[in-house]
Each structure stands twice: as structure tokens, then as C-alpha cells.
Amino acid sequence: MTEQIQRDTVREGEENENLIVEDEPLKRDPLTERHIMAYSVGHFNNDLCASMWFIYLSYYLINVVKLTPNIAATAILSG
């Protein structure tokens, strides 16, 4: 970011000794495809659990407690 700012402040024809330009590519963190797949599977399980929770909670609030669907939805979304 500072490199871009420094480049923008240099006018054509002027030399700037403080200008630092790196030709090296950015280094990435050591995540492999295996790590990414593991995170994906863990996130899928979390979403699956949450969706089951919301389905059964909405069924309970509407059919057992006898709330209207609008109030049941508000109760679920308030969390």
C-alpha cells in the first residue's frame, strides 16, 4: 500500500531514491488443499446442525406452542 502511494507521488522525470519496488511474489500461508477441504467439511457440518435446529424449533413453536408463523419466525431470528 505504501509502495503504491510512493509511486503516485513521484513525478515523471524525477528520480526517487527512497522508492522500494519488490519483484518477489507475495508469500502465501502454508494452507494446503487438504486443510481447505477439512475447513469446508467442518463448516458444512456446522450449517447442517444449525438448519436442523431451526427446522425443529420452528415446528415446535408453530405446532406445539401454537404461535403464529410470523411470531415464530421473529422468535427464531431474534437470536
pTM: 0.48
Q: Return the domain boundaries, the chain.
A: 2-77
Q: Which of residues 13 and 66 earns the better pLDDT score?
A: 66
Q: Which DSSP helix (H) or strand (E) runs through 35?
A: helix 33-59
pLDDT, tens only, 21-55: 566 676 777 888 898 888 888 888 889 999 999 99
Contacts of 57 (CB under 8 A, 6+ apart): 76
